[in-house]
Amino acid sequence: MARVVVMGAGISGHTASTRLRSFLPKKHEVVVVSPNPQWNWVPSNVWVGVGTLEVKDVLFDLAPVYKKAGIVFKQAKVISIHPEGDKDSSSPYISVEYTEAGKVGHIEKVTYDYLVNSTGPKLNFAATPGLGPEGHSHSICWASHAEHAQKDFLAAIERMKKGQKQTFLIGMGHGMATCQGAAFEYIFNVEFEIRRRGLRDLANIVYLTNEYEVGDFGMGGMHLRRGGYYTHSKIFAESFYTEKGIKMITRAHVTKVEAGVAHYVNLADEEHKIEFDFAMLIPPFAGVGLTAFNKSGKEIKDTLFAPNGMMKVDADYTPKAYEEWKAADWPKFYQNQAYKNIFAVGIAFAPPHFISKPMKNSAGTMINPTPPRTGMPSGVMALAVAKTVASIIKHGGDQSKATFYSASMADIGAACVASAGKKFFTGRAAGITLHPIVPDYDRYPVFGRDPKLTTGEIGLGAHWIKIVIHHMFIWKAKLKPGWTLLPE
């Protein structure tokens, strides 16, 4: 009997645990450790943040789903990893602290044969003073944040109904934040909700980003085949912002957020501030703060984790100049190289470098997005790791006989559907596909991506896809009939 422990129950963790359960005979055990009792379909938090969905529409309880599936669920947060066991036992284990009511604070050792790290990110609001729901801005990264944002957004709407002008500042709260797609989607939903209420003239809507140009999305942007041209996504995004009357501030690092004022510096070393009535600024991500110890109790954090707290896997972490970056630098199997029974997927794995070109101002402040690895890519990585671990277990733990499944970000694509208004007939969305996520200039000279699979368009059809995706993935996550047939 083998035990696989999955740390985290977000998109990648839930995918890994449920797929493992479906691949492995019942004699093997799948354990999920997550501090959160509920699963959140994060992409629809955008709609919660403007009040077109309620928070209950994007959450469900994990315990009954896991019980039905035969997955052991421990509502706890992971404190440390002990890949060699300790002085009493050689069995590897993780140390967890329960967050479940009635067991809060209880510490337990959870032994494992295979460990999948899918903890997701720590939202590092502390990187920018005043950033975040406990400061002076909002976030939509968690459902509870989106609910908080909704309340203040609707309050701003009420002020506009009384004739007051409002400034909405939406974008990135730090020079190295990622998830530009979420901010892109949120700002167009904000604009849509204001416009449909006939209040657009009272709203000043501003997009503030660390991207060199809008449409970079942390991936260096992409060239889309449209109208007989290969057009950079800058044109695509800039056109949409301009059409909707949204102002753009690019190449910016937010240094401080105060009540109603955001301060930022840009790549040209200019310091500015902008006043706002409502701000939603995405924080930078960091590792969740795990540590690790060897058998003798010595901390081996550097063996398992990169300095940002993300887990090291089979990537090439040799520091290189942008011009020397290769698709092959990116991990294929998401396997830690020091402890080969540990894997990391989704935001939890440490990328070898950025995808967008690194930029800094003369003061040395880095102002460029970090690589996005949420949503579809994190699900595909989790599926690959689940298949690999299942194969290893089926071969009695002999990795040399097992089939390994690769899902390098330089080999997989992504579908991004960013809605711009939720109404069924008047909503719109930008539907973008790209392949691969990390440009591979050896396979695809000039643009680094497959021109046939890298496309984008705006319309009602893409909006319907977003609605289908919302319902389809919640259905799948609840393990309802046919869920194994649905793609990641």
Partner 1 sequence: MARGKKPNLAAKEEEILPYTQAYYTALPTGTIKWIRGCIVWQLIRFIVVNSRMISMIGKSHPHPHKPGVH
**Interface positions with partner 1 (CB under 8 A):** 191, 195, 200-201, 235, 238-239, 242-245, 247-248, 332-333, 376, 380, 383-384, 387, 395, 400-407, 411-415, 425-426, 428, 431, 433-435, 450, 453, 455, 457-462, 464-465, 487-488
374, amino acid identity = T
- Select 284 or 448, whichever has its Cβ closest to partner 1: 448
Minimum CB–partner distance for residue 294 and partner 1 (Å) = 25
Minimum CB–partner distance for residue 475 and partner 1 (Å) = 17
- Select 103 or 423, whichever has its Cβ closest to partner 1: 423
Quick one: tokens of 213? 């140009």
Reduced to 3 states, what is the DSSP secondary structure of residue 153? helix
Helix (H) or strand (E) holding 73, with range, is strand 72-82
Q: How far apart are CA 58 and CA 456, in angstroms?
A: 26
CA dihedral 393→395→399→405, nearest 10 degrees, is -70
- Select 29 or 488, whichever has its Cβ closest to partner 1: 488
Minimum CB–partner distance for residue 384 and partner 1 (Å) = 4
Q: Is the distance from CB of 293 to CB of 300 less than 8 angstroms?
A: yes
179, amino acid identity = C
Minimum CB–partner distance for residue 435 and partner 1 (Å) = 5
- Select 96 or 274, whichever has its Cβ closest to partner 1: 274
Minimum CB–partner distance for residue 163 and partner 1 (Å) = 18
Minimum CB–partner distance for residue 402 and partner 1 (Å) = 6
User: Strand pairing partners for 274?
Assistant: 262
User: Strand pairing partners for 344?
Assistant: 117
Measured CA to CA in angstroms, residue 423 lies from 240, 458, 464, 472 at distances of 18, 15, 10, 18
- Select 96 or 190, whichever has its Cβ closest to partner 1: 190
DSSP state of 443: T
Minimum CB–partner distance for residue 250 and partner 1 (Å) = 9
- Select 41 or 98, whichever has its Cβ closest to partner 1: 41
- Select 298 or 452, whichever has its Cβ closest to partner 1: 452
Minimum CB–partner distance for residue 115 and partner 1 (Å) = 18
Q: Is the distance from CB of 194 to CB of 203 less than 8 angstroms?
A: yes
CA nearest neighbour of 328 among 414, 176, 443: 443
CA nearest neighbour of 184 among 227, 216, 161: 216
For 169, other C-beta atoms within 10 Å of its C-beta total 27
Q: Is the distance from CB of 3 to CB of 113 less than 8 angstroms?
A: yes
- Select 72 or 248, whichever has its Cβ closest to partner 1: 248
